[in-house]
Amino acid sequence: MFDAIIGQERAKETLGSMVESGKVPHALLFTGPHGVGKGETARELARMLLCTKGLSSGCSACSACRRAAKIVHPDLHVLFPFRSRPEKELEAKWLEELQDHRQCIADDLYPTKVVYKKGAQIVAGLVDEVRERLLESSFEGGRRVCVIFSADKLNQTTGNRLLKVLEEPPADVHFILTAERVSYVLPTIVSRTTVIRFRRLTVSEIAGYLERYPELTPEERMSCALRGDGGIKTAKAIAFEHTADLRERAFEMYEGAALGNPDSVAVYAAPFLWSKEALEAEELIAGFARWTKAVVGCRTGSETIRDAHSDAVRELAGRADLAALGRLAKCLEDGIGMLGRNVNISLVMTKLLYTIHDTYR
């Protein structure tokens, strides 16, 4: 059970016992830091509750399971911070954007695009719609499940509108709420729930999860895991939203050092004179290593470059022999090791940039 959820052994064990016994409380509150699996576990438990083959069947492929996983099951209701329903002439666009947000939640296990701003609220109109549906009969004659993401975004008014259903829930209605801190959720709601706490993930757990993305080097995975603050979503955001700029910067520096003169190498090395950003330097060196590998692949014919830098890679491939490229690759690997031993960042980056320059002479 909950095999797709990274870490969180204690929370999974508690929930697994509830599922196996068939005694899942009508209201659960998952609390813990951002991006550690609360929402993912809520979605998985909701799917299990709606499975037509039984709560503890282990099924994940029946029609109900598939629809619940995509958040299109008629007995699965989700609430999250979103703006209020607009005037009728703007309603179609609002509904489209609302569906797009639901799709973002469903499309990825740990979705990085689902981040709610500090002032965001779960609005009264959506709360009222869900409350009314929960008071109606089940569409498919089974359970009804309401997942509330960021339940701390319920204010006094919207919280009270849900409270009656939480206090006296209809038969076979389950609430699964998530929040980063119990203290952020209205006390009247907390008192009606069973609280399950989620911990920060370890660096090794996050790095292990990131192994499913082959486009990330081992160094990038470890760097993102270290900077992830115990959360997979934060680590993924760093990996895929910020490294694109670093990759472009790495190529600019690599090409400039390779094709420029010694003075241009000094210009690229200068910004590192007072730098203390070892993790950023590691990511740049990983970028240098990636481009070196691309040049080797181009030279040997084992790899075809099809991006915006293909012409530059082919030019570089014609300037260096394989032995020199091998020495450069080893030097880059040693550079990451030097940073790990706290060698001066400026010294390491300057040495590597000059080595790149010398490789293509």
What pLDDT digit, counting tens, does each position of 267-320 carry?
A: 999 988 887 777 788 888 988 998 999 899 888 887 655 566 888 888 999 998
The answer to the question of residue 146 being in a domain is yes
Q: How many CB atoms lie within 10 A of CB 359?
A: 23
**pLDDT at position 344:** 92
Q: Which residue, 170, 199, 228, sits at the end of a domain?
A: 199
Q: What is the pTM of this model?
A: 0.69
Q: State the pLDDT at residue 307.
A: 62
Give the domain CATH number at 99: 3.40.50.300
Looking at residue 242, its pLDDT comes to 63
CATH of the domain at 331: 1.20.272
Residues 253 and 187 in one domain: no
Q: Are residues 260 and 355 in the same domain?
A: yes
How many domains are contained in the chain? 2
CA angle 302, 306, 312 (to 5 degrees): 90
With residues binned 3-state (H G I as helix, E B as strand, rest as coil), the percentages for the chain, rounded to 5, are 60, 5, 35
Q: Is residue 68 in some structural domain? A: yes
179 belongs to a structural domain: yes
Quick check: is 135 in a domain?
A: yes
Together in a domain, 25 and 164: yes
Task: Report the Cα–Cα distance between both ends of the chain, in Å, rounded.
Answer: 58
What pLDDT sits at residue 140?
85
Q: Are residues 171 and 271 in the same domain?
A: no
Does residue 125 belong to any structural domain of this protein? yes
My answer on whether 187 and 266 are in the same domain is no
Angle at 51 between CA 45 and CA 53, to 5 degrees: 130
Domain contains 223: no
Listed as ranges, residues in the chain with pLDDT below 50 are: none
> What is the token pair recorded at 99?
């569906």
Q: What whole-number distance in Å separates Cα of residue 258 and Cα of residue 35?
A: 40
> CA angle, 136 as apex, 130 and 137 as ends, to 5°?
125
Q: Which domain holds residue 258?
A: 243-359
Nearest to 103 by CA among 119, 129, 80: 80
Report pLDDT for 117. 75
